[in-house]
Structure 1
């Protein structure tokens, strides 16, 4: 595979995962996209804000193409973890629109650079890293958080998969999942009996 094809493939997967994360916000109330759903406060809108912040860093600062809006600092204790939740003053559209602006900025960086273009990742001990490695890292990180979003959304209203309507059309309704859960629970109990 040539470098242009590899870059296009990685970029395509990244674009898919970005959209998958945003799709998890569809049809949810303002409260549900913001509320903490784990012991550490993980929430859907916070995942979007976090991804926007770090993608702006990796495909901005790293390649000396800074995102033109302020970002919470990773190296200032008071700002740490501030990217993991939205304040009451940050609307859903503020956070989502910012993520889309980051996409445009990041996409321009990817288009402008070759896969072997090297950037400096300050928070990796000033490592010199090629675009290829950064794209792989971002794809892994975005996919990881898309998986978190899948689980959070399932806990909120039972919506599963990247296309809940298609899953329902295939017979994967609430009764199907209740039966599946009971089957998994029975297997778990039998394994420890």
Structure 2
């Protein structure tokens, strides 16, 4: 039992150190401890520098605002990424399919899970850039995805917009993200 308590204490100290690092970088704020709270317990608002509230989305459901359609440059970027996974003609066909796809909405946490991708940290240069856009009230481009295959265990692919998904998740994991979704040729 004593070793278990030592392990828990060590984990609490590590967590407190991580919180302190996040506070120094401005991604959470210190709060006063309520009665019964331990030293390491603090309220965090990931992705929102202390003292700055996120801007509301067009729907009023979160801190991220979105363009109505992906930017034109996103489709060639998606094709370029997909060409690492499939021949150029297949990648181009998927990118063309994405252009004609309707906008759908999914939560940031579900997109990362379906793609089996890790959340990039707020100090990643591209994520930090998107977090700044969110704080400044600038609209982000919807993401482009290729559907996975559950039966075959193939994850979905974020063809364009991984950093935007991570920045949105850091603002609120339940952020409603507009996306275009295409099926890969089977």
- TM-score normalised to the size of structure 2? 0.23
User: More strand per residue: 1 or 2?
Assistant: 2
- TM-score normalised to the size of structure 1? 0.22
